[in-house]
Amino acid sequence: MHATLEKLQDRNEAYDRPSRKAAEEAVRTLIRWLGEDPGREGLVDTPARVVRAYAEWFDGYEQDPAALLQRTFEEVGGYDGIVVLSDIPFESCCEHHMAAIHGIVHVGYLPQHRVVGISKIARLVEAFARRLQVQERLTAQIADTIAEVLSPYGVGVVVKATHACLSTRGVRKHGVSMVTSRMLGAFRDDPAVRQEFLTAIT
Ligand SMILES: [Zn+2]
């Protein structure tokens, strides 16, 4: 069995979670609702594949974002500037339409005592992105977790993303991207720090 799916099933006791069979049945219902025959050769295995794909796309629920930042380094060789990671790509899913969100995240922080490995910040982004989301909450969750766990002098997070629910349905506007940001501590209060961050990400 798929490893992620196994983990998902392990936490079934935590709440009234439908079985994998029930989830596959729901996909079959959607296929029938579209006017298709779920028994058709090309569609027979689709419900199982869709459920496996969902387990992967939403494996952010399996992760504890704060735990990802626990291993930090205190030795920074006297470095006292801001640390910026720009253009971290992510895929997420809008919780209103369950449609894809694609974008990039820029993260900056001004360490007080501790810095974290750069791959950990990228994994933090994934842990929150791979859930049902709205872009505003994704932005806030990334910033707030870094602020809480690392206690830096400040944090800045900017997210720029396109939403399939806007480009492929409704008003069908292509090429529109949405930008959200959250500035905390020195990134909010000190114009020089904020400017240094904004210059680094452009
Ligand atoms: Zn949407």
Residue 136 in tokens: 């505003």
Q: Which residue has the higher pLDDT, 196 or 79?
A: 196
**What whole-number distance in Å separates Cα of residue 201 and Cα of residue 95?**
28
Over the stretch 168-184, which tens digit does the pLDDT of each residue have? 888 888 889 999 999 99
Residues 4-23: what's their mean pLDDT? 72
pLDDT band at 13 (very low <50, low <70, confident <90, very high): low
How far apart are the CA of 22 and the centre of ligand 1, in A? 25
Residues 14-32: what's their mean pLDDT? 93
**Active site includes 95?**
yes
Q: Which residue has the higher pLDDT, 88 or 14?
A: 88
- Catalytic one among 25, 62, 165, 196? 165
Over the stretch 50-92, which tens digit does the pLDDT of each residue have? 999 999 999 999 999 999 998 887 767 778 899 999 999 999 9
How far apart are the CA of 57 and the centre of ligand 1, in A? 16
Q: What is the rounded average pLDDT for all residues in the chain?
A: 92
**Active site includes 97?**
yes
**Active site includes 163?**
yes
**Hey, which bits of the chain come out as E strands?**
72-73, 83-94, 100-110, 115-116, 132-133, 154-163, 178-185
**Active site includes 94?**
yes
- Catalytic one among 62, 63, 97, 102? 97
